[in-house]
Structure 1
Amino acid sequence: MMNYRSLFFTILVVFAAVGVVAQEKQVALKPAVFSVKPSQGHTFRLTNPCYPFTGNKNSVVRIAPALIELTGASSMDGTNTVQLKFASAVNVLIALPQGQQLNNAQLVIDSALTITGLPPYNIYKVAYKKGWQTVTCQSKDGFVAGVIGVNQPLLTQGGHQPDGRLWRPYITDGFTDGHPLFEIIGGPDQPVIDEGMPGTEGIQGGFEGGTCVKVGNTYHMFPTERAGEMGVAAYYDRVKTRIGHWESPDAIHWKRVGTIYQASGKYAIAEEDNPMNDRRGAIWSYNAVFNEKEDRWYGYYLTYTVDRNIQPNHSFGRIWCTKSKTKGMEGIGGPYDEGQLIMEPGLDAQPWEGRQGVASFYPFPVKDGWLGFYAGAYPFKTWADYPKNTGTGWFIGLAKSASMDGPWKRLDTTVNPVKSINPEFVENPLVYKLQNGAYITVFDGGPDGGAHHFPNMIGYTLSKDGLHWSEARYLPLHTKVKRWWSTMRTPLCLIPEGDNVYTIVYAAYNQPNKRFHPMGMVKVKMDPTVLEELLKGID
């Protein structure tokens, strides 16, 4: 016979559990209509990322699901009040960092927002009447995270968003200081090369870095193709790679025309940089640069030793320089020979280059010869840590030469690594000389995910001399292009099209667990006045 006391207790437990689930369930809130007093405040949409503050680098990078797509507001002058007009009675959701409280307000979401460089933000609910109202946040660090109807239920809940101090604040072009160098004109709201399109047969893992150049009216792209092998796990896609050659009349519709290099895909047999290892186990990052003096295309590319068990599995990078056998601009398609080795780990290597260095190379002309950005990752603190005791960080340094042919000499450690751009992550930099004689470099700004806390946007930096570089600024493509990607990766070009318009082709991931990584395209327009202002701030 059933014990009714036990049954009653069980029912109470079930109802309590259901109550907890209901309390934690985060149903998306519907925004109420409001307006902000002109020139007194600004509005923004809660998306990842978004920018509630004016004049600083802090940006929202994580949002509790209930708040996504709400419209927020903050003052233009950095004060703690903003004038808002409501069409009806509302509840205003005010965001404050943990450790600060809003008097006479109800805490409704704990740890609701992650803002770079700041503690987790909590959300408080305050009722306001119809008409113009002065909304007070009681702190210069507070802002309005959204406005909802008074009848919309909002139970106290946990947002569970991480601490923003894990992220380094960064400059977002046009949002941090209101002066964008680039206007994002737009581009396709989907990849231009994706799985299943002609030419992608046999490329299981999609694409990563390389270069794209324009010769006449034709775009030529040399991406790293993460080919892998049928029946072998996705991890091998980044080992068995090849350099492809693609052509397009518009940077949107692409045709694969050939293979420049194919990696061996063979794993190392020794943990150290041993000549018994196959040093062309993986091939990456083919950078095409025209040598005007030689009237010939040069290609700089990267080969790795590939280790099965040690992180990173790409180790001891080597840079090769190859030359087209066909002279003139039309020689872009080659054929190319294997090339000459120009940089490798050795006695002149620096500990910051780490186990992965030398990890990319891009040369550019300067007043007294040539400089080249080269990369390293998984650094050694000292050489005593070689070969397995590595740290974290993705860095670039500078090498110099009298010509593109070399020999290339690393600059010393008073210059290298170049940390003025970003002290933690700069990858695959491509350098272009502008008409005013200055330089611009575009690069992979680093992923935000998989335990990494980087901007997840394409970055750029400026220089007057090629030696001293500005702090990175990051391009918010998501504000003008439908965000089909989950992780933004590597730009392959910044091609001038005339009238200050540039084409960028880029590699990205569109799902964290999708094996194939597509290619996208966007066009941007540079503001020469902003360029001159930014250059003034560089030493």
Structure 2
Amino acid sequence: MFSKNKKYNFKLKTAFLMLLAVCIQATAQTTAWKPASFEIVKSNYKTFKTTQYAHVFSGSKHNIVRLATELQGLTGVELPLNTYKNRINGALKLKFKESVKVLIGVFQEKGNDEYFQFNDDTKAKLILENGVTITGLPPVNVYAVSCQKGLNYFKNKGLFVFLGVVKESQKLEPRNANFPDGKLWNPTFIVEGFSDEKPLFEIIGGENKPVIDEGMSGTEGIQGGFEGGRVVKVGDTYHMFPTERAGEKGVDYYYDRVKTKIGHWTSKDAIHWKRESTIYQASGVYAVTEDDNPMNDRRSAIWSYMPVFNEKANKWYGYYLAYTVSKTIEPNHSFGRIWRCESTVEGINGIGGPYKDMGIIMEPGLDSQPWEGRQGVASFFPYKVGDKYFGFYSGAYPFESWADYPKKSGKGWFVALAESQSLEGPWTRLNKGLEPIKTIHPQFVENPIVSQLPNGLYIAVFDGGPEGWGHHLPNMIGYTLSKDGINWGEAHYLPIETKVDKWWDIMRTPLCLIPEGNDVYTIVYNAIDLKRRFHPTGMVKVKLNKDVMNSRLEELKKEK
């Protein structure tokens, strides 16, 4: 391996050893520390596993979104949020079988006495600077505090995070993990299986890789992969109608989201898919004016096709979104309009079409509100409640007022309800569309798809928003429940990467929640690997907990 030249050999060996030392140090810094056991004495405090998504305080929704690898898998203690923030907590009593180091997360916000801070004379050693990110809260530095065998009291006043206990002999290498400020995240989201609430769905597995990916049969001519649409099951066959980000070869990837198609794919197992046909093809022509002007091609990009079977008409209806596209103004998808089409083939097996357009059912107009924004009516999904029909419609890039039209838009992805006596329409914005529904999530709900659970609860699965592109959102599939199809509850999010290999960076849109029997449901979804232009499609299975389902219904019935 080494040269016969001793001087050169010495330098090479030295360089090799230095490199080896760096590698060993890096390995040590990214290897999980081994936990030590402990007992909570005379307290009903619960413990939690220190992992991403863990809810770290009882009575709160604050959860971990960034975590140093060293802390992974330790056992933390859920402290009651309000008691500690108000500095009225008693001492936390812990019993150790041996000498240990306790890992305490301290919030870095000067001048705020809600947060505990170590005194300068405290024998606490800073181990991980910016070592944890917790939604809605300041940056966290992690300190190690040595404790003797036996009973120990923690009389800290103010809020801190109890992240775990390791043996006294555990070597702790200090470093700066450089994780971001938790205040970038809105703390109002509940991750299934990580909060105090029992999960409605258990993630039971699925495919560890995309089920439709670049190079597979049917993807020829689709440069950018998939985003949005719906999957339905007819008999033993799944039918998927995705937005295909077709673009053109040799043209920048940005054009993938302009030159789009609606495809029709089928599968017997939701894993192996065959492309059957093209339902619609967008023009891909950019607008010539900045406003919502009929001079512009208003079908430049086509998205979010939603097939719905109309039993009365005995045929499939399709609802889809057509945009005007600006080349220079954010968002480039502007002034969305919802079209309705019908299959020319009657019956449940006419799902493959062909389809004929029946006209626009919702669009920007005199009954629009500024919150619908420049993106306009950005999605639509109809569903039946009793003798009436309701439809989720959405808006994005809101205007603060109409004075901001057409270019000065803000950020936000919202939904509201429209109602009709029939699937054909006319559709009327509920409450004149004055306010979007913010009970689900205050900032982001996109492409909800509604169905009913066995006890009659309405459920909508939706895109929970990216953790990327400058956004700090849940980055998971979300769902919301309703007892009446009109009033919708707080969102819960499904961390499917806890049971399947995470091949994506950004989770996008669920296309279905299909019952398979034995309380098992199939979810087909789109997601993004940021290293690639092509956005693949994945699949996961979840199992419904009927006891939780029934308790959620009773809780909703008690609400006014």
* TM above 0.5: yes
SS in 2 for 1:488: strand
Instruction: Give unpaired runs (5+ residues) of structure 1.
Output: 1-17
% of aligned pairs identical?
Answer: 55
Any conservation in 2 of the 1:321–1:340 contact (CA below 8 Å)? yes
1:256-275 map, 5 Å: 256-275=275-294
SS in 1 for 2:547: helix
Match of 1:93 in 2: 103
Q: Which amino acid aligns with 2:222?
A: I
Q: 1:46 aligned to 22, 46, 51, which one? A: 51
Q: CA deviation at 1:289?
A: 0.8
Match of 1:317 in 2: 336
Any conservation in 2 of the 1:29–1:70 contact (CA below 8 Å)? no
1:188-207 map, 5 Å: 188-207=207-226
Q: 1:57 aligned to 49, 56, 61, which one? A: 61
Q: Which amino acid aligns with 2:542?
A: V
Tell me, yes or no, if structure 1 residue 73 matches structure 2 residue 62: no
Q: 1:166 aligned to 157, 162, 184, which one? A: 184
Q: CA deviation at 1:518?
A: 0.9
Distance in structure 1 (CA, Å) of the matches to 2:48 and 2:194: 12
1:330-479 map, 5 Å: 330-413=349-432, 416-479=435-498
Any conservation in 2 of the 1:43–1:72 contact (CA below 8 Å)? yes
Q: CA deviation at 1:90?
A: 4.6
Distance in structure 1 (CA, Å) of the matches to 2:424 and 2:542: 33
Deviations 1:493-521 (A, max 9, x none): 01111222211101111x32321111111
Deviations 1:10-67 (A, max 9, x none): xxxxxxxx9xx99x979214422433549864341433x3333344211111234x53
Q: CA deviation at 1:75?
A: 4.3
Q: Which amino acid aligns with 2:57?
A: F
Distance 1:176 1:151, change over 3 A: closer
Q: CA deviation at 1:158?
A: 2.9
Match of 2:545 in 1: 527
Distance in structure 2 (CA, Å) of the matches to 1:377 and 1:151: 50
Any conservation in 2 of the 1:463–1:469 contact (CA below 8 Å)? yes
TM-score normalised to structure 1 length: 0.89
Distance 1:476 1:410, change over 3 A: same
Any conservation in 2 of the 1:397–1:416 contact (CA below 8 Å)? yes
Q: Which amino acid aligns with 1:61?
A: V
Q: Which moved more, 1:289-298 or 1:312-321?
A: 289-298
Any conservation in 2 of the 1:284–1:301 contact (CA below 8 Å)? yes
TM-score normalised to structure 2 length: 0.86
Distance in structure 2 (CA, Å) of the matches to 1:371 and 1:299: 15
Match of 2:521 in 1: 502
Q: CA deviation at 1:128?
A: 4.1
Distance in structure 2 (CA, Å) of the matches to 1:413 and 1:453: 31
SS in 1 for 2:56: coil
SS in 1 for 2:356: coil
Match of 1:244 in 2: 263
SS in 1 for 2:222: coil
SS in 2 for 1:532: helix
Distance 1:166 1:230, change over 3 A: same
Q: CA deviation at 1:85?
A: 5.3
Distance in structure 1 (CA, Å) of the matches to 2:96 and 2:211: 43
Deviations 1:122-173 (A, max 9, x none): 10012345x6664748355321256366352413x43322221221111112
Q: CA deviation at 1:185?
A: 1.3
SS in 2 for 1:531: helix
SS in 1 for 2:318: strand
Distance in structure 2 (CA, Å) of the matches to 1:325 and 1:532: 41
Q: CA deviation at 1:191?
A: 1.2
Q: Which amino acid aligns with 1:506?
A: Y
Match of 2:306 in 1: 287
Q: 1:32 aligned to 27, 31, 34, which one? A: 34
Q: 2:204 aligned to 185, 188, 203, which one? A: 185
Deviations 1:456-485 (A, max 9, x none): 111111111111110111112122222222
Distance 1:529 1:204, change over 3 A: same
Distance in structure 2 (CA, Å) of the matches to 1:258 and 1:420: 39
Q: CA deviation at 1:338?
A: 3.0
SS in 1 for 2:57: coil
Q: How many residue pairs align between the two structures?
A: 513
Distance in structure 2 (CA, Å) of the matches to 1:525 and 1:460: 14
SS in 1 for 2:287: coil
Any conservation in 1 of the 2:390–2:420 contact (CA below 8 Å)? yes
Distance 1:320 1:135, change over 3 A: farther
Q: Which amino acid aligns with 1:337?
A: K
SS in 2 for 1:530: helix
Distance in structure 2 (CA, Å) of the matches to 1:114 and 1:137: 24
Any conservation in 2 of the 1:32–1:90 contact (CA below 8 Å)? no
Distance in structure 2 (CA, Å) of the matches to 1:82 and 1:207: 53
Distance in structure 2 (CA, Å) of the matches to 1:205 and 1:289: 26
1:90-239 map, 5 Å: 90-99=100-109, 100-102=116-118, 103-128=122-147, 134=152, 136=154, 138=156, 141-145=160-164, 147=166, 150=169, 152-155=171-174, 157-169=175-187, 170-239=189-258
Q: Which moved more, 1:409-418 or 1:360-369?
A: 409-418
Distance in structure 2 (CA, Å) of the matches to 1:172 and 1:450: 22
SS in 1 for 2:143: strand
Q: 2:531 aligned to 503, 510, 513, which one? A: 513
Match of 2:15 in 1: none
Distance 1:33 1:362, change over 3 A: same
Q: Which moved more, 1:89-98 or 1:377-386?
A: 89-98
Q: CA deviation at 1:340?
A: 1.6
Q: 2:320 aligned to 289, 293, 301, which one? A: 301
Any conservation in 2 of the 1:245–1:256 contact (CA below 8 Å)? yes
Q: CA deviation at 1:74?
A: 1.4
Any conservation in 1 of the 2:509–2:525 contact (CA below 8 Å)? yes
Distance 1:513 1:145, change over 3 A: farther
Distance in structure 2 (CA, Å) of the matches to 1:290 and 1:443: 20
Distance in structure 2 (CA, Å) of the matches to 1:360 and 1:269: 24
Any conservation in 2 of the 1:28–1:68 contact (CA below 8 Å)? no
